[in-house]
Structure 1
Amino acid sequence: MINRLELHSISKRYPSVVANDGINLSVKPGEIHAVLGENGAGKSTLMKIIYGSVKPDAGKVLWNGKEVHIANPAMARELGIAMVFQHFSLFDTLTVVENIALGLPGDTKLDELARRISDTAEQYGLELEPQRHVHTLSVGECQRVEIVRALLAKPQLLILDEPTSVLTPQAVEKLFATLRKLAAEGCSILYISHKLDEIRALCDTCTVVRAGKNTGICDPREESAASLSRMMIGCEPPPIKHVLRSPGQTLLAVKNLSLKKSHPFATELSDINFELRAGEIVGIAGVSGNGQQELLAALSGEDPRAEAQMILLQGERVGHFNPAQRRERGLGFVPEERLGRGAVPDMSLADNILLSHQTGATISGGFIRKHAIVKMATDVIERFVVKAGGPHAAARSLSGGNLQKYIVGREVMRNPKVLIVAQPTWGVDVGAAAQIRAELVALRDAGCALLVISEELDELFQISDRLMVIAKGRLSPSIASSAATIDLIGQWMSGMWNDTVVTPLKEVVYA
């Protein structure tokens, strides 16, 4: 059988790093093939070479047995290759249907395309509104646009980078059924995920990449999560230590928070109430687009429409305060969007320190203390093992996972009283994810109050003391993580919690 795709000795070098060093890869027709590696291992560069957006320095590519030189993504699409990038390629000021139309022939009718988008989205359980502008979408909803755009092309090879981070457990199973059906019809799938259980459940073959080189090929169905982790990072991630403790005083309280839609496609927040106490982690689960974005904006101060008394920070009414004023009072914030909100892409890592560290330590007499921000950036890089070309490297030069470690580290090292984190380990490898989660638990143990909004249910169960669910702008009651189940939280993610009897929380919670 002729392989659908073959890569022979692919190499790609950049001034400060060797991204790919003689990598070989073979994908058969109808095969679901995982590419596994830690952040910065070279996976994304390799996928971009296959898709034509990066040119290799050496090596050759064979497509259906014939050598090809994929000059650009348009040529890749003509060959039958579709890709969903981890960092999206969408125009904010265009609608969903207009964005998808950009890669199609000029005579494509938008109304007909909108119907195809809706049908495809419904078929695969990916809710989308074709007429919404992209700037109104959450990160998870943008990912749905990318997935649907790829599926519309009916590709021979589909490259998926972290495709399940926006889905409920039930929707993940539906997507897996779809991918298996596509594979049975002859479509090859390259699947990049840091969720080892997903790879073991879905994929036929797994190629492991470490530091830009092949380190092994295996059948993931015959491996354990631990053995895959050892192949990927050389060891198993350390377990997070749980410590029994009672939470302290309330540091953040949200009372009767209701906000109308800020734009036609926003989610209205309705009667949000919860308290966050010192020394606890409260997790909020939910499918992307159910009000997470609006709640984060209200809590961070980016949306100042809340009444003053609706948000209390250490007992002070801060509903009208801007983000800087809330930071001065001990609030830390990690947004879900890394490039553009968490970090300015073209600024250095040192300069990006100023996004959250505007104090006397970094600014004196109206002048930036350059040596101070370089020292802070260096400390974050070293403590969080960020793979970067030093504190002067541009934020956009980092892989997604390494940039995430830097942004989280920047906030953790401020020692906030209250830390709000959105999608802390989205697209992050198992080793880095374990480190980030351990740092969050350590902050909790030091008395910080943490609110973690994530679509990774395993993550929320692992680090949270209490769990809540947001659905259609409403917030469920809280439940002790030890008393919750995946099935229950999955049911609540559909908005069905009114008929559930919630056991009252005990004073002692777990870490």
Structure 2
Amino acid sequence: MPNPVPIPDQTPRLRLRNISKRYPGCLANDAIDLSIAPGEIHALLGENGAGKSTLMKIIYGVTQADSGDVIWQGQRVSLRNPAQARSLGIGMVFQHFSLFETLSVAQNIALAMGTAAGTPKQLEPKIREVSRRYGMALEPERLVHSLSIGERQRVEIIRCLMQDIRLLILDEPTSVLTPQEADDLFITLRRLAAEGCSILFISHKLGEVRALCHSATVLRGGRVAGHCVPAECSDQQLAQLMVGKAATLITDYPKVAGGRVFLDIQGLSWLNPDPFGCSLKNISLEVCSGEIVGVAGVAGNGQDELLALLSGEARLNRNDAATINFAGLPVACLHPDARRRLGLAFVPAERLGHGAVPQLSLADNALLTAFQQGLVSKGMIRRSKVEALAEAIIHRFGVKTPDTRTPAKSLSGGNLQKFILGREILQQPKLLVAAHPTWGVDVGAAATIHRALIALRDAGAAILVISEDLDELFQIADRLGALCGGRLSPLHATVDTRLSDVGGWMAGQFNAPHSPVPATA
């Protein structure tokens, strides 16, 4: 990608001056200054918990600052709610989409715009026109649950663009997109910026920030740690600005060969009862003790279905029990707790609601999957042991939280992910299945998670990582494959695999010639 062209000096569209926000036990934002010009793509960087989300919520009117000024196009404003922010021309696409899956694209957009904008049917021509104009093709009549993740993000963005947006805030917009979808999004964002729209871009993918953004503000511990021009910095320099450490955060881990087969899947086929889901077709896969196997793929190609069948949330009948084996034992018809007793640990794709119960404390969330580790005796919860486990997770994995009584929903995404992964690793599993282990987390948290996975591998565990982040898979996986249309490609050693090979597998080109990477490459 070409480096972004600098924009000329202009009067700021948005200026934040001395913005501070305190929550009980936490100063989330501490006297923050930020300025964004018309047509500028401005990155906001920082570790999970650095204060980025709080600042975005202040700009979008979700919450109000305790002190400081928000100056919009030269005028001081007080943003009391998102509707007021939208009326000024401020739009936001959150990391977790806010769409009604049983409604159509047009119905979702109509709900956001209000009755004055017209009925869903009346909005359909404008939706088509706006989506064509920005190269984000959408069919207004389609139901949201039938859309891919990338298409759902288009709905969120088009919903903003339909409202004459002058500042678009994007929170981790590429975390669930394929490389091609991310490239298409960047084309749209550059077109918007060329038309004068300001864009505030939050991402942990530093290569994307360097390629797309004109400037960046870095937060650390709730304060501004610095400003920079991303195109003039390396990934390592940006990472160190964010975390304030000189340690290397991006590591090429040595690749290893596994030992005995622990997870053995042979000829797994499964007909998905959901007409909009993906069925699995003759999947065979082996994961050995002491290795990490990575599986790539565009969202919606069978990842969720495979994860459900491995975890026990979906089960096969007894006739197909032998299609999934742990250390030679058939498990395909066993419940999740029985699989855990055989050594399975599981990190699901969705943190809140699946990996953790939002309202429960961290201690209670530790109990949810680790109750078989001596935390319950004769039907009674051993509270001291539960607290000790939660404290051990927090300490060992660097989870930023006041204490073990903190509700899971109050943690940043990266800190909650570290807690969930730590909960599973401290159970010393024989098999860890992890979905998108570093989705939406900062480089520091990602480095912590990767080191933990490598240490678990080196301790002899079999690890299966399903991820859409190809950089991550090349970094930590010993062998690689990809899902497409419910079919799994053959696996190859990572050291013998090119990025273009994986791209072909993701498109279903399983039989394309595979030439090993030259030793000098």
Coarse TM-score class (shorter-chain normalised): over 0.9
State the shift of 1:305 in Å. Answer: 3.3
Contact 1:137 1:289 in 2 (8 A): no
Could you tell me how far apart the structure 2 residues matched to 1:132 and 1:257 are?
A: 30
CA contact (8 A) 1:30 1:184 kept: yes
Q: Name 2:350's counterpart in structure 1.
A: 337
Of 360, 364, 368, which aligns to 1:347? 360
Contact 1:3 1:28 (C-alpha < 8 Å) held by counterparts:
yes
**Structure 1 contact 81–158 (Cα < 8 Å) conserved:** yes
Report the equivalent of 1:509: none
Q: Match of 1:248?
A: 259
Correspondence 1:271 to 2:282? yes
Superposed CA offset, 1:1-40 (max 9, x none): 3211010100000002110000000000000000010110
- Hey, what does 2:212 align to over in structure 1? 202
Question: Is the Cα–Cα contact under 8 Å of residues 347 and 395 in structure 1 kept in the other structure?
Answer: yes
* One-letter amino acid of the structure 2 residue matched with residue 501 of structure 1: H
Over residues 65-118 of structure 1, what are the superposed CA-to-partner deviations in whole Å (9 max), with x where a residue is unaligned? 111111111111111111111233344665555444321222643345567667
CA separation of 1:92/1:132 partners in 2, compared to 1, >3 Å: closer, same or farther? closer
- Equivalences for residues 153-164 of structure 1 within 5 A: 153-164=163-174
State how far apart, in whole Å, the 1-side matches of 2:321 and 2:157 are.
40
What is residue 299 of structure 1 aligned with on the other side? 310
Q: Aligned letter for 2:441?
A: V
Change (3 A) 1:283 1:225: same
Give the Cα separation in 2 of the matches to 1:362 and 1:502.
Answer: 51
Task: Map residues 32-71 of structure 1 onto 2, 5 A cutoff.
Answer: 32-71=41-80
Kindly provide the amino acid, as one letter, of the partner of residue 219 in structure 1: V
Q: Does 1:433 align with 2:443?
A: no
* Native 8 Å contact 1:141 1:288 kept in 2: no
Aligned to 1:507: none
Partner of residue 389 from structure 1, selected from 397, 402, 414: 402
Q: Which residue is equivalent to 1:405?
A: 418
Pair 113,59 (structure 1): closer, same or farther in 2 beyond 3 Å: same
2:391 maps to which of 346, 362, 378: 378
In the aligned structure 2, how far is the partner of 1:126 from the partner of 1:308?
Answer: 43
Counterpart of 1:73 in structure 2: which amino acid? P
- Structure-2 separation of matches of 1:305 and 1:115: 46
Q: Quick one: structure 1 residues 113 and 413, their matched pair in 2 at CA, closer, same or farther if it must change by over 3 Å? A: farther
Who is 1:110 aligned against?
120
**Distance in 2 of aligned mates of 1:472 and 1:436:** 29
Shift in Å at residue 167 of structure 1?
2.1
Matches within 5 A, 1:361-372: 361-372=374-385
Deviation at 1:365, TM superposition (A): 1.0
Q: What is the 5 A alignment of 1:166-205?
A: 166-205=176-215
Q: Which residue of 2 aligns with 1:25?
A: 34
Whole-angstrom distance in 2 between the partners of 1:74 and 1:169: 33
Residue number in structure 1 paired with 2:464: 451
- Shift in CA distance, 260/101, structure 1 to aligned 2, threshold 3 Å: farther
Cα distance per residue 1:199-252 (max 9 Å; x no partner): 111100000111111111111111111211121111244454634543111111
On the 8 A contact 1:121/1:128 being kept in 2, the answer is no
How far did 1:440 drift? 0.4
The residue identity in structure 2 corresponding to 1:418 is L
Distance 2:393 2:161 in 1: 39
Q: Report if aligned partners of 2:346, 2:424 keep a CA contact under 8 Å in 1.
A: yes
How far apart, CA to CA, are the structure 1 residues paired with 2:75 and 2:370? Answer: 54
495-504 vs 184-193, which deviates more?
A: 495-504
Is the CA contact (8 Å cut-off) linking 2:36 and 2:198 kept in structure 1?
yes
Given the two structures, how large is their TM-score scaled by the length of structure 1? 0.93
Are the counterparts in 1 of residues 217 and 228 from structure 2 also a CA contact under 8 Å?
Answer: yes
Do the aligned partners of residues 126 and 493 (structure 1) sit closer, same or farther apart at CA in structure 2, a change above 3 Å counting? farther
Matches of 2:42 and 2:139 in 1, distance apart?
28
CA shift at 1:487, angstroms? 2.3
Residue 113 of structure 2 aligns to which amino acid in structure 1?
Answer: L
8 Å contact from structure 1 (residues 140, 289) kept in 2: no
Q: Give the alignment partner of residue 228 of structure 1, picking from 234, 238, 248.
A: 238
SS of residue matched to 1:183: helix
The equivalent residue for 2:223 is 213
Q: Distance in 1 between matches of 2:207 and 2:61?
A: 30
Matched to 2:82, the amino acid is: P
Q: What's the TM-score once normalised by structure 2's chain length? A: 0.91
Letter paired with 1:327: R
**How does 1:457-476 map onto structure 2 within 5 Å?**
457-476=470-489
C-alpha displacement of 1:316: 0.9
Q: 1:460 to 1:118 in 2, by over 3 A?
A: farther
Equivalences for 1:70-149 in 2 at 5 Å? Answer: 70-91=79-100, 94=103, 97-106=106-115, 108-111=118-121, 113=123, 124=135, 131-132=142-143, 134=145, 143=153, 145-149=155-159
Deviation of 1:150 (Å): 3.3
Whether the 8 Å CA contact 1:128–1:141 is kept in 2: the answer is no
Partner of 2:323: 310
Deviates more, 1:178-187 or 1:351-360: 351-360
Please, which moves more after superposition, 369-378 or 339-348?
Answer: 369-378
The sequence identity of aligned pairs, in percent, is 52
SS across alignment from 2:199: strand
Number of aligned residue pairs: 503
Aligned AA for 2:14? L
Distance 1:22 1:429 in 2: 22
2: distance between equivalents of 1:383 and 1:53?
34
Which residue is equivalent to 2:17? 8
Q: Partners in 2 of 1:117 and 1:443 — Cα distance? A: 49
Instruction: For 1:320 and 1:191, locate their aligned partners in 2 and report how far apart those are by CA, in whole Å.
Output: 45
1:45 maps to a residue whose letter is T
- Deviation of residue 461 (structure 1)? 0.3
- In the alignment, is the contact (CA less than 8 A) between 1:96 and 1:129 conserved in 2? yes
Cα distance change of structure 1 residues 335 and 114 upon mapping to structure 2, 3 Å threshold: farther
Q: 1:484 and 1:253 mapped to 2: Cα distance?
A: 23
Q: Which deviations, in whole Å up to 9, do the C-alpha atoms of 1:362-409 show, x marking residues without a partner? A: 111111111111111111011111111210000011011111111111
Q: Are the structure 2 counterparts of residues 369 and 139 from structure 1 closer, same or farther at C-alpha, using a change threshold of 3 Å?
A: farther
Greater Cα shift, 14-23 or 172-181: 172-181
For residue 113 of structure 2, give the secondary structure of its aligned residue in structure 1: coil
How far the C-alpha of 1:490 sits from its partner, in A, is 2.0
How many Å apart are 1:294 and its aligned residue? 1.2
Contact 1:117 1:130 (C-alpha < 8 Å) held by counterparts: no
What is the CA–CA distance in structure 2 between the aligned matches of 1:403 and 1:270, rounded to whole Å? 34
